[in-house]
């Protein structure tokens, strides 16, 4: 099963999550996207080979994705938010994620949640 990873712009945040996931999923199983339009295009094609989507999403991305949330509801979604602002968290919950955490954490919790989700689909 592939994992879709969205991080607008990539950079250090993406490196941080990939490092945390290293013991849980192989690098070859991760499809990285840096533009929300590209992620949505991928989700429109097919998702039978996708197990989980990890979204490092800012407010704009959450807004765009909420309009397309039907594509995400059938997938296991983990959200990594940039802040704890009430509007951000409210928008995040509109996507019905399995787990929400924040970018300022160590992200090992994401790896542990992914490990558990892979054993209990």
β-bridge pairing 50-56 and 2-7: parallel
pLDDT digits (tens, 9 = 90+) for 9-31: 768 888 889 999 998 999 999 99
Q: Give the model's pLDDT for residue 51.
A: 86
Query: Contact 61/88 with Cβ under 8 angstroms?
Result: no
pLDDT class for 121, splitting at 50, 70, 90? low
Given a cut of 80, is residue 95 above it in pLDDT?
yes
Alpha-carbon 25 to chain mean position: 14
pLDDT digits (tens, 9 = 90+) for 36-74: 999 999 999 887 889 899 999 988 999 999 998 888 888
Full set of structural domains in the chain with CATH: 2-119 (3.40.50.2300)
Between 46 and 98, the more confident residue is 98
CA-nearest of 114, 120, 83, 119 to 97 is: 114
Q: pTM (2 decimals)? A: 0.92
Given a cut of 60, is residue 80 above it in pLDDT?
yes
Average confidence (pLDDT) over 72-81: 92
Q: Give the model's pLDDT for residue 48.
A: 83
């Amino acid at each position: 099963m592939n994992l879709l990873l969205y991080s607008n712009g990539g950079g250090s945040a993406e490196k941080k999550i990939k490092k945390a996931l290293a013991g849980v999923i192989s690098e070859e199983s991760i499809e990285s996207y840096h533009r929300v339009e590209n992620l949505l295009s991928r989700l429109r094609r097919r998702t039978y080979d996708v197990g989980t989507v990890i979204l490092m999403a800012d407010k704009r991305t959450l807004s765009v994705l909420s309009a397309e949330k039907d594509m995400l509801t059938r997938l296991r979604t983990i959200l990594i938010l940039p802040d704890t602002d009430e509007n951000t968290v409210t928008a995040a919950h509109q996507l019905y994620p399995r787990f929400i955490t924040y970018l300022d954490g160590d992200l090992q919790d994401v790896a542990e949640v992914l490990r558990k989700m892979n054993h209990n689909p």
